[in-house]
Structure 1
């Protein structure tokens, strides 16, 4: 693609409004300083976590018209009616899994000769994602899990994360927690999301223990452990664990999570889940007398996924619901002591939009723009381009039937 000289920062158009932004005011200045001749134009927005005035105060142009921009940056899907023909866009399109809700979006991208680069597909040579909000999903998810546990058991009441100004304000809330009993907390996963959750528990000075000690020892203080895939899965044929094989052939494995259910009070689920992989547990397991988990923070929020109780996602405004093991039915949150309360918000980073946006902006400056303005020698942009000038890229030809 030709080198951009004017970059447009889009207002978010989804409902409810997403308050995050791809570039914060300070990162716009840093970008312009790093690449002389490059300018950023910001579309005004009444919802963005960073106000129009914050951009204007740093000399960044704020203007509604994006027609002159060479490259347009958003966060979530751009409304179909807002797409400009022939432009290059970067945003999370949520189309590569053939999501029905976004079929018209991709159809319009192709019809209007648009080039679409998807942040989710930006990877390094090892195939690891380099741009993501996962860390902040873990941070907010862990906080929401503790908030939910405190409310369910009448221990404490914390201000919701979305009502906090930023991470520092949220920290002031969880530092108030003085009445956390000697519960056991399990975190699944080892990626960005899990690291965010670990950060919160670490800042709260909750003690981390080994998986063995978690299972077999009693404590007089709250503790947590981190479970990787091999801790709660095994091969069905009894052969030795193989991490690479688990990712390649997840259907060959079965869950062993049942051993953790009798000792776990709060489960914070942060592990990536493949639809072919086993569920963590079954609905029938929740009816067992030794199933102790009373609160689940399903941070990954795969509906009908690894956590079978997550039969729907929840919202920032109403983040939790209850599951009744006796009937298998969902009920309003905190309905009865016998129910399991599930927090399954599917857009957790939106609750701390300023922090999440700063982190995301840093990733774009370090990863995306060197490739955009440096010729993409490692092919990162090529791997992340779903369509160019109205044509699906070869690796995304499988989407042809989806958009036909």
Structure 2
């Protein structure tokens, strides 16, 4: 029997879940054993999991489960753990030389556990099996416009944000703020979306079009070999949804920030990988958070604010979790099988990176 434990997230403001009660039931119906840690933050009520047959355990007790359990989560594990013995499925952020990657993999090496990193859980065509990209772009665009509205009203910025119950509630609030801002604006904001063809870019574009904004759309053919992208300084808002790769040239550099000629006043880095050596926006080095969503980059009166939240879909945890869980279910159903391309490829990537520690 394949056993999976959905762990409680420990990251602040993280309300998403990689597994919905509906997907848990589908797994149970196929003979899987599913246990779920209690969580006050998760967008799904614990009773919904209990009702479909899941075993409920206290938060943080996955550590004591037998090592054959798959431990399913989203964000990082507690740093206090010295070794990892289970088979983990989550976004490990350890395969592209991010900060702390060696220390994390050493824990797997010491404990004999393994990591199926969801970012590297891809089909034979190279497309990720499950991704929050659409909702990251959607939520990132919403926050970018909200911050632009705040700049117009009092030259301020978003001081704190919280998750919305659903997309309708977010849309109602955003439409209200945008309608007020347009009254004082000279024109509607000029917005450029970089990486518009991907999931993130599609989400960002959909949100903007719902507001009646037609963004300028750039993709790899518009940016490859052309960095820095000075033209971006002529737009009000830049939303970066580009895939970070080793050959990506910087889109903007620090010297572009404090210029009075710059029109750009809001950057939302949806891709958000500041600790990677391939970061195309090397104008910042730390992410922002829900309780501090904005980093004001400018040092003069020409405002420039940055949004770099690494879990943007938590703004809409319900929709993003339902979507992600539906995408992931097919792969989870193949756990324990030897002929699943996606799982075999993810394990091969883990083993290859682990071998570099020797």
Q: TM-score range by the shorter chain?
A: 0.7 to 0.9
- Shift of the 102–280 alpha-carbon distance from structure 1 to 2, 3 Å rule, reads closer
Q: Secondary structure at the match of 1:78?
A: coil
Q: Which residue of 1 aligns with 2:314?
A: 350
Contact 1:11 1:44 in 2 (8 A): yes
- Shift of the 160–352 alpha-carbon distance from structure 1 to 2, 3 Å rule, reads farther
Q: Which residue of 2 aligns with 1:285?
A: 256
- 1:174 & 1:76 partners in 2: Cα distance? 28
1:21 alignment partner, one of 17, 20, 32: 17
Residues 1:376 and 2:347 are matched in the alignment: no
- 2:286 & 2:294 partners in 1: Cα distance? 10
Contact 1:22 1:361 in 2 (8 A): yes
Contact 2:158 2:294 in 1 (8 A): no
- Shift of the 25–227 alpha-carbon distance from structure 1 to 2, 3 Å rule, reads same
Q: How far 1:135 moved relative to its partner?
A: 1.6
Contact 1:76 1:91 in 2 (8 A): yes
- 1:287 & 1:104 partners in 2: Cα distance? 37
Contact 1:144 1:161 in 2 (8 A): no
- Shift of the 89–372 alpha-carbon distance from structure 1 to 2, 3 Å rule, reads same
- 1:323 & 1:85 partners in 2: Cα distance? 39
Q: How far 1:297 moved relative to its partner?
A: 1.5
Ranges in structure 2 where 5+ consecutive residues have no aligned partner? none
Q: Taking structure 2 as the reference length, what is the TM-score of the superposition?
A: 0.84
Contact 1:188 1:271 in 2 (8 A): yes
How big is the alpha-carbon RMSD for the aligned residues of Structure 1 and Structure 2?
2.9
Ranges in structure 1 where 5+ consecutive residues have no aligned partner? 209-223, 234-252, 327-336
**What whole-Å deviation, never above 9, does each CA across 1:28-59 have from its counterpart, x for those lacking one?**
113223x1x22311111222222322322444
Contact 1:268 1:299 in 2 (8 A): yes
- Shift of the 316–51 alpha-carbon distance from structure 1 to 2, 3 Å rule, reads same
Contact 1:134 1:192 in 2 (8 A): yes
Q: Which residue of 2 aligns with 1:269?
A: 240
Contact 2:137 2:241 in 1 (8 A): yes
Q: How far 1:292 moved relative to its partner?
A: 1.2
Q: Which residue of 2 aligns with 1:320?
A: 294
- Shift of the 62–370 alpha-carbon distance from structure 1 to 2, 3 Å rule, reads closer
Contact 2:19 2:321 in 1 (8 A): yes
Q: Taking structure 1 as the reference length, what is the TM-score of the superposition?
A: 0.75
Residues 1:255 and 2:227 are matched in the alignment: yes
**What whole-Å deviation, never above 9, does each CA across 1:296-348 have from its counterpart, x for those lacking one?**
1222223283224334321111111222266xxxxxxxxxx422122222221
Q: How far 1:269 moved relative to its partner?
A: 1.4
In terms of mean alpha carbon deviation, does 55-64 or 156-165 score higher?
156-165
Q: How far 1:294 moved relative to its partner?
A: 1.5
Q: How far 1:185 moved relative to its partner?
A: 0.9
Q: Which residue of 1 aligns with 2:166?
A: 166
1:228 alignment partner, one of 203, 219, 225: 219
Q: How far 1:289 moved relative to its partner?
A: 5.0
Q: Which residue of 1 aligns with 2:189?
A: 183
Q: Secondary structure at the match of 1:186?
A: strand
Q: Which residue of 2 aligns with 1:331?
A: none
- 1:202 & 1:322 partners in 2: Cα distance? 27
Q: Which residue of 2 aligns with 1:399?
A: 356
**What whole-Å deviation, never above 9, does each CA across 1:239-285 have from its counterpart, x for those lacking one?**
xxxxxxxxxxxxxx2326223433x1111111123354221133333
Q: How far 1:80 moved relative to its partner?
A: 5.7
Q: Highest Rg: 1 or 2?
A: 1
Q: How many residues align?
A: 342
Q: Secondary structure at the match of 1:318?
A: coil
- Shift of the 83–200 alpha-carbon distance from structure 1 to 2, 3 Å rule, reads farther
